Amino acid sequence: LNERRKRMSRWYFGGIASCGAACCTHPLDLLKVHLQTQQEVKMRMVGMAMHVVKNDGVLALYNGLSASLCRQMSYSLTRFAIYETVRDMMGSGGQGPMPFYQKVLLGAFGGFTGGFIGTPADMVNVRMQNDMKLPAEQRRNYKHALDGLFRVWREEGTRKLFSGATMASSRGALVTVGQLACYDQAKQLVLGTGLMGDNILTHFLSSFIAGGCATFLCQPLDVIKTRLMNSKGEYRGVIHCLTETAKLGPLAFYKGLVPAGIRLIPHTVLTFVFLEQLKKYFGIRVLS
């Protein structure tokens, strides 16, 4: 009796894997926010890193880590749970893997929902990371993510917690299509060549491709989202922010593409490598 035992992901694995990846890539995320919010380009990636370390010490690169983890546990947990649960349910009928367009739709739905649920944590995340660039009297000084969430709710009202929800949800949808749907598809294609087995190299290659797709898909939105969340009221709304950014030329939407890629690609790779390992060692056993 030697049936192949396949392991299925548990619903919360995506959240855990994303937190693991976030711990590794948090400094890159912090630098990306700094780079996107400077008005004139004064510094590049490495210069910015040196600047932060010189002024505030190495641990300053981990400013706002609690908000980042809080965001992964709300946003990533939701999108992975929706995507993987539905995909595994539909795949268990034995009709083979889902067609790509269905993965895209499912990814978009999961990401949109996750993006909405993760908005408050995301806003606190951006604010905490950007805090140290402000002059001392303008700083918000949140102690940690929950303190930040509570203070925004108390000082600015519930609606403010969801400011930028449209952007965050749309970005969530695009990232999830880029990451999950493209990862699944890339992995299917790589395994389909028969040259590589279902191993860490395959996971690495597929997630690298997925990270690239995700970065390219959501960079324009990311730029707008960061500008909106950080604004002190200079934009009337999404459209106004779009037109103001567009005046700077089409490349303004891809400002910080390299730092975004340097952050999102390793984050995607780490997330999926962790996820596949979690699945392999702690997943639910199913007979295939």
Q: What is the pLDDT of residues 39-74, one digit of tens each?
A: 666 777 788 888 888 888 888 888 778 888 999 999
Identify which of 23, 67, 33 has the alpha carbon closest to the alpha carbon of residue 161. 67
What DSSP element (H or E) covers 245? Answer: helix 238-246
Residue 3 reports pLDDT greater than 50: no
Q: Which residues contact 26 (CB under 8 A, 6 or more apart)?
A: 61, 62, 64, 65, 68
Distance CA 72, CA 87 (A): 21
Residue 38 reports pLDDT greater than 70: no
Alpha helices (H) along 92-176: 100-130, 145-156, 158-161, 165-176
Which range has the worst mean pLDDT, 6-15, 65-74, 194-203, 209-218?
A: 6-15
Distance CA 147, CA 141 (A): 10
Measure Cα distances from 284 to 11, 79, 89, 232, 249 in Å.
Answer: 10, 19, 13, 48, 50
In terms of pTM, does the model score above 0.75?
yes
DSSP 3-state helix, strand, coil percentages of the chain (rounded to 5)? 75, 5, 20
pLDDT for the residue 2: 36
Q: Cα 64–62–270 angle (5° rounding)?
A: 100
pLDDT for the residue 1: 39
Distance CA 129, CA 33 (A): 7
pLDDT class of 260 with cuts at 50, 70, 90: confident
Measure Cα distances from 83 to 174, 211, 236, 269, 275 in Å.
Answer: 13, 17, 34, 18, 14
Residue 236 reports pLDDT greater than 50: yes
Distance CA 288, CA 286 (A): 6
Distance CA 24, CA 167 (A): 25
Contact 32, 52 (CB under 8 A): no
